[in-house]
Structure formats: C-alpha cells, structure tokens
Amino acid sequence: MAFGLIIIGDEILSGKRVDKHFAKVVELLTTRGLSLSWSECIGDDPARITATLKRTFASDDVVFSCGGIGATPDDHTRQCAAAALGVPLVLHPQAQEKIRERMLDMAREAKVDFDPDRPENLHRLKMGEFPQGADIVPNPYNKIPGFAIRHGNGGAHYFLPGFPVMAWPMIEWALDTHYAHLFHQRPHLEKSVLVFEAMESALTPLMETIERAFPAVKVFSLPSVGDAQTRRHIELGVKGEPQQAEEAFAALLAGLESRGCEIGTA
C-alpha cells in the first residue's frame, strides 16, 4: 500500500508560507515503519485540483490532502473532491453536530447568546458540506472535522485543514485507527558511507552490480559539493531487507576499497 501527500494552497507556491507538512508526514510514517511514496503541491486552482483528485482517486493509495477545506472563496478542495467523484456536496450530519458544538463553545467563551440562525453561523455549516458518502475525520483542536473518501482496493483520501496544529493529529488518528496492521511489517535497514572526491559516473557500475546481486536492496547516491566543514563527497549507501542490506553494504565497502576510494563515516 502506497502513501501519498497533496499540499494545496497558493500561499505555499508563492512563498508566503513555508510548507511544514512534508517533513512531518515523513516523520509520522517513518516512526510507524511506513514510508511516503509521493507528494504533490498544487495551488488554489479548481481545475487542477479536480484533475489531480480524479487521478489519485483512481489509485489504491492512501492519500493525505492538506488545505482548502474551509468555506472562504479561495477554498476549493471540498467542491473539487465532489466534482472528481461525480457526486454532490451534502451537509454531513456528524459534521453539522461538531460544528454546532464549536459555535456553542465560541459563544460561551465570548459570553454571548448562541443564535444558530445568524448568517455567519449558517455560513460556518458549509465547512461540513462534504462529497456524498464521505466519512468525517475528527479534529481534536477545534472540533471542525475533515472528511475521508474510501476508494479502490483499500485506498482512501483524508482531507484535512492546512493548519499543522489541526492536520497532524488528524493524520495520526487516521494512521493509528485504520492502518495499525501495517506498522513495522517490513523490516528495514539503511547503511551508508561518505566517499570523498569521487565521481558518480565512476561508481555507477558498482552500484548496478550490487542491485543485481541483492534484489531486496536499493542503492542510493547523494552527492554534495561540500562546505566549510566537509570536502566534496558522495554519501553512498544501501537500504532494504536487513540481511541483504548488511551483505550489500559489505560488498559496497569491498568494491570501494578495490577502487582505492577514500571513505569516511556518514
């Protein structure tokens, strides 16, 4: 099962906000023995959002989508998800209940009477209009839920606010509630070494030989031009099934030694 991430918002692409979701989602998955397979960042463009969701709904991936589920004119995600699925938006009864709870809390905090028919309160209910057939995703921060769509063979999309303080606990809830059976199911080992003043092209044959010999392992190469503390180098390593990774790393070290490479600790 592949996990994907969609980050939605003009503010990310314009640089007004710096994305924090990517690194956090990688962390949340890694601590559970899972990994992120892909990520996309798109602006507040309804046509592009709809096209992206049509494509990802057609997969069996588990996708976390952050941003654009509010009720202001620049929020399009709820409408685009419905369009991509070919279903209407409907007010989800559980979402309606949670949003009313939030409005009551706000009225108590402000020490004013709660009037559910005030225009601004009626407008807030739009945040509970989800594609028909959606489930809610609980929001422990302010009770206003996100929504989930099931599709394909075990696939799902979780639509969450753009605010990290809300989105991250909601992602944790989704993982721990629905995917705990996948945690730490694939033993994994990663080992690497620094190779100084080397060219990737000269090391490529060694990397290809190791991947052929150890099919449960991937070889990775991360070149660096160096800085004030470190000379130009390549971080060269292997990752994958632990036993094969250990054997592949030994073969990698032997291959580097036979080529007379200068190596250091990664």
Residue 223 belongs to a domain with what CATH number?
3.30.70.1130
pLDDT tens figures, 168-219? 999 999 999 999 999 999 888 999 999 999 999 999 999 999 999 999 999 9
Task: Identify whether residues 18 and 143 lie together within a single domain.
Answer: yes
With b for 16 or more beta-carbon neighbours within 10 A and e for fewer, the 41-60 pattern comes to: bbbbeeeebbebbeebbebe
Q: What is the pLDDT of residue 116?
A: 84
Average pLDDT over residues 130-138: 98
More confident call, 261 vs 115: 261
Task: Identify whether residues 231 and 137 lie together within a single domain.
Answer: no
pLDDT tens figures, 41-64? 999 999 999 999 999 999 999 999
**Burial class of residue 6 in the structure, from the number of CB atoms within 10 Å of its CB (0-12 exposed, 13-18 middle, 19+ buried):** buried
10 Å Cβ neighbour count for 227?
8
Q: What is the pLDDT of residue 117?
A: 86
Q: What is the pLDDT of residue 177?
A: 98
| Contact present, 249 and 179 (Cβ < 8 Å) | no
Task: Identify whether residues 102 and 120 lie together within a single domain.
Answer: yes
Task: Identify whether residues 231 and 142 lie together within a single domain.
Answer: no
| Contact present, 85 and 96 (Cβ < 8 Å) | no
Strand partners, 237: 192, 220
| Helix or strand run (H / E) with residue 51 | helix 46-57
Average pLDDT over residues 131-146: 97
Strand partners, 72: none
Checking if the pLDDT of 226 tops 90, the result is: no
pLDDT tens figures, 104-127? 998 999 899 888 888 988 999 999
Mark which of 135, 161, 182 sits at the end of a domain: 182
| DSSP tag of 241 | S
Checking if the pLDDT of 22 tops 90, the result is: yes
Backbone angles phi, psi at 119, to 5 degrees: -55, -40
Q: Compute CA 250 distance to the chain's CA centroid, rounded to the nearest angstrom.
A: 33
Number of domains observed in the structure of the chain: 2
* pLDDT above 90: percentage of residues in the chain: 91
Task: Identify whether residues 132 and 215 lie together within a single domain.
Answer: no
Q: What is the pLDDT of residue 230?
A: 87
Q: What is the DSSP string of 189-230?
A: EEEEEEEET--HHHHHHHHHHHHHH-TTEEEEEEEE---SSS
Give dist(CA 250, CA 75) in Å, integer: 52
Average pLDDT over residues 6-11: 97
Q: What is the pLDDT of residue 176?
A: 98
Task: Identify whether residues 47 and 89 lie together within a single domain.
Answer: yes
| Contact present, 156 and 178 (Cβ < 8 Å) | yes
Task: Identify whether residues 159 and 255 lie together within a single domain.
Answer: no
Q: What is the DSSP string of 158-175?
A: EEE-S-HHHHHHHHHHHH
Checking if the pLDDT of 88 tops 90, the result is: yes
| DSSP tag of 33 | T
Average pLDDT over residues 219-235: 93
Distances (CA, A) of 171 to 69, 157, 201: 15, 11, 41
Single-letter amino acid, residue 232? R
Q: Which domain holds residue 200?
A: 189-265
Q: What is the pLDDT of residue 108?
A: 92
Record the pTM: 0.88
Q: What is the pLDDT of residue 105?
A: 92
Task: Identify whether residues 135 and 14 lie together within a single domain.
Answer: yes
Mean pLDDT of the chain: 96
Task: Identify whether residues 85 and 202 lie together within a single domain.
Answer: no
Strand order in the sheet with 262-265: 217-224, 233-240, 189-196, 262-265
Confidence of residue 33 (pLDDT cuts 50, 70, 90): very high
Confidence of residue 1 (pLDDT cuts 50, 70, 90): confident
Give dist(CA 155, CA 132) in Å, integer: 17
Checking if the pLDDT of 152 tops 90, the result is: no
Checking if the pLDDT of 36 tops 90, the result is: yes
Checking if the pLDDT of 75 tops 90, the result is: yes
Q: Residue 89 belongs to a domain with what CATH number?
A: 3.40.980.10
